Chains A and B, each alone.
Chain A
Amino acid sequence: MLLRPSPTDLRLIAHDLGRILAVVAAAGLLPLGWAIARGEWAAAGWFLLMIGTAAVPAAAAEFLGWGSRRQRVDWSHGLVVVALTWLVVPAVGTLPLWLSRHWGRWLDTFFEAMSGITTTGLSLVQDLDHLPESVNLWRHTLQFLGGQGIVLAALTFFSASGALSMYQAEGREERIFPSVISTARFIWLVSVIHGVVGVTVLTVDGILVQGFQPVRSFFHAINVFMAAFDTGGFTPQSTSIAYYHSALYEGVLAVLMVAGAMSFGLHHALWNRRRGLLQNLEVRTILTTFGILLAVTIVGLGTSGVFTRAAALTRRGLFQVLSAHTGTGFSTVSTTELSRWSGLAFVGITVAMALGGMSSSTAGGVKSLRIGLTVKAMADSIREALLPEGAVVPDTFRQYGTQRLTPRMAQSVMAVSLLYVGLYLLGAAVGYAYGYPLDQALFESVSASAAVGLSVGVTAPGMPVLMELVMILQMWIGRLEFVAVFALFGFLASLAVGE
C-alpha cells in the first residue's frame, strides 16, 4: 500500500526547492553583471525578471517557515527534491533565452536549458554568433551549475538534513570526506583552481595568438572553461572549437576535459600523492577504453582517407575521441563533416559517448566503474564455469583499497548499464521512426542520453516536437542516472493513489 505524502512533506520539498532556486537567483547575478557592464540593457531586464522569478518563491518558502518543521527526512525525499530540481531549474532558466528571441518556440528554450544543466551541449539556438553576450554567458553558467551539481551548490551554502540522499541522487556515489558539506567544498576548490589556471591560459592565448581584445578573450575563456571542465560542450560560437584554429587552445581544453571526466575522488587522491592509483579498477577501465576507442577511430579515419596527413589525423581524431569519451561534446570538425565519418570512426565515437567518464565526475554515460564491474562480474562467472567445482574465484577489486563485488552490487551495476542501453535504443527508435537514418538517430540518441552533445545534424531548430520531448527526457534521466527519476514517479503515484 502506498502512503500518501502529508502536507508537511510537500512543504518540506517546496522549501528545499526554494533554497535551490535561491542559488539560481544568485547565479543569475553573473550574466546580469555582464549585461550591465557591456551595456546590454534589454538583457539586463530579462535577467532581473528571471532573478525575481527564482527569488520570490525561494523567499516565500523561507518566510512561511516551511522548512522549520523538518523532522524525519527519509531517503526518497532527497531523491524527489533532486528529480524536481532538474525540471524546475531549467524551466526558470529559460526566461532570458525565450525573451532573447533566438529560439523558435518555448520548448526549444527548455531543451537548451535542459541541455545546459545536464551538461549535454546539444543546442537549438538560432544565429548563435549574434546572441547577446550575457545570454550566451547564461547558457554556459547553466552548464557550470549542472556540472558541479545544482543541489550540491545549494548544500554548500545551506546545510540540510537529507543532504546525503540529495548528493548521491545527483549522480555522485562517493564521498571524499565524511561530511557532504566538506566534500562539496573540496569539489568547489578543485573547480576554482582549474578555473584560475584554465581561464588565464585561454585568455592569454586569445590575446596573443588570436588577436582578441582582452575583454573578448576573457569572455571566450570563461565560457569555454565552464563548458570544458563541466564536460558541457556549449561554445560561444556556432563553429564550436574549430572557431579558434589554435592547437594550444585545443590542448588546454583537452586537459580540462580529462580533469572534468575524472572522479573528484581521483582528484583528491592525486592531490594527496596516493599511490597505486593505476591499480584502481575505474582508472584501468577508462585508460583501456580510451586506448582502444582512440585506436579504432584513428584507424577508421586513416583508412577511409578523410585525413591524408598524420598530424591532422591525430589532432582531429584525438580531440573528437576525448570530447566524446569525456562527455563534453566540443568539436573541431563541422557537423556535416562529422556526419560523413563512417565505419570504424563512427563506431569509435559512438561507443566512446555511450561509455562516458568516471563516476562522481561531471561526465555522463554508463561510467567506467560500471563498465569495469560489469566486465569483472562476467569474467568471474566464466571463470567459475571453467574451473573445477569448489575452486574459489576471488570476488575482490581495487578501488581506493580492496573492495568486494557482492552479487547485489553486480546486479545493480548491470541493471543501470542495461537501462542506459535501453535509453539509447529508445531515442534511436524514435529518430528512426521520424525517418532519420538509423546510424544518425542512434548517434544523436546516445549523445543526448550520455550528456555529450556531439551532433550529426539531427538536433536542429524545427525538429519534430515528440522527438525533442524524448531527447529532453533522455537528458534528464541520463544525467540523474535513473534512481531519482524512478523515485519521483513513485512519489507522484503515491500522491495520486496513496492512502
Chain B
Amino acid sequence: MPTDLHPVVRWLRRLAQNIAQGARGLAIEAVVVGVLIVFAFLLAFVVVALR
C-alpha cells in the first residue's frame, strides 16, 4: 500500500479491503450451507419417497 497517502485514505482503503475479504468469506460460507441444503433435500426426498 502506498505510504504517501493521507492516513484517513489509507484507513479507508484498508477498511474496504477488509470488507471485500470478509464478503468473500461470507459468500463461501453461504455456498457451503447451500450445498448442505441441496444434499439434505435430495436425501430427504429419496427417504420420504421410499418409505
Contacts and interface: CB of A to CB of B under 8 A. Distances in A.
A259 B30 CA distance: 9
Contacts of B39: 291, 294
B18 A189 contact: yes
A310 B41 contact: yes
A262 interface: yes
Contacts of B19: 193
A270 B25 contact: yes
Which of the four size classes fits the interface of chain B?
A: 20 to 34
A197 B28 CA distance: 14
A314 interface: yes
A277 B19 CA distance: 21
Given A272-B21, A302-B51, A310-B48, A194 B40 contact: no
A425 B40 CA distance: 31
B36 A290 contact: yes
B41 A314 contact: yes
A299 B43 contact: yes
Interface string B12-43: 00000011011111101110110011011101
Given A255-B29, A298-B43, A190 B22 contact: yes
A251 B33 CA distance: 8
Nearest to A302: B47
Nearest to A312: B44
B26 A194 contact: yes
Chain A's interface size range is 35 or more
A270 B39 CA distance: 23
A270 B32 CA distance: 13
Interface in A259-295: 259, 262, 267, 270-273, 290-291, 294-295
Contact of B33 (A258, A270, A295, A302): A258
Interface string A242-265: 000000000100110011001000
Contact of A303 (B21, B23, B26, B47): B47
A26 B14 CA distance: 27
A236 B51 CA distance: 38
Kindly name the residue among B18, B28, B40 whose own CB sees the greatest number of chain A CB atoms within 10 A. B40
A92 interface: no
Contacts of B29: 255, 258-259, 262
Contact of B45 (A193, A194, A310): A310
A342 B25 CA distance: 36
B21 A298 contact: no
A298 B43 CA distance: 7
A271 B51 contact: no
A131 interface: no
A303 B48 CA distance: 8
Interface in A190-227: 190, 193-194, 197
Nearest to A257: B33
Contact of A271 (B24, B41, B47): B24
A305 B24 CA distance: 40
A191 to B, nearest CB: 10
A255 B26 contact: yes
Contact of A317 (B22, B44, B45, B49): B44
A305 B51 contact: yes
Contacts of B24: 270-271, 273
A372 to B, nearest CB: 18
Given A194-B22, A271-B21, A303-B51, A314 B37 contact: yes
Contacts of A313: 44, 47-48
A252 to B, nearest CB: 9
A465 interface: no
A273 B27 CA distance: 13
Contacts of B32: 258
A308 interface: yes
Contacts of A488: none
Contacts of B33: 251, 254-255, 258, 322
A69 interface: no
A302 B36 CA distance: 17
A290 B19 CA distance: 29
A294 B32 CA distance: 14
Nearest to A322: B36
A309 B48 contact: yes
Nearest to B21: A271
Contacts of A294: 36, 39-40, 43
Given A270-B24, A318-B36, A322-B36, A302 B18 contact: no
A303 B43 CA distance: 12
A298 B37 CA distance: 12
B30 A299 contact: no
A201 to B, nearest CB: 10
Contacts of A193: 18-19, 22, 25-26
A320 to B, nearest CB: 11
7 contacts: A259-B29, A303-B47, A310-B45, A310-B48, A313-B48, A314-B37, A322-B33
Given A271-B21, A291-B39, 12 more contacts: A190-B22, A254-B33, A259-B25, A259-B26, A270-B25, A270-B28, A271-B24, A295-B43, A298-B40, A305-B51, A307-B48, A310-B49
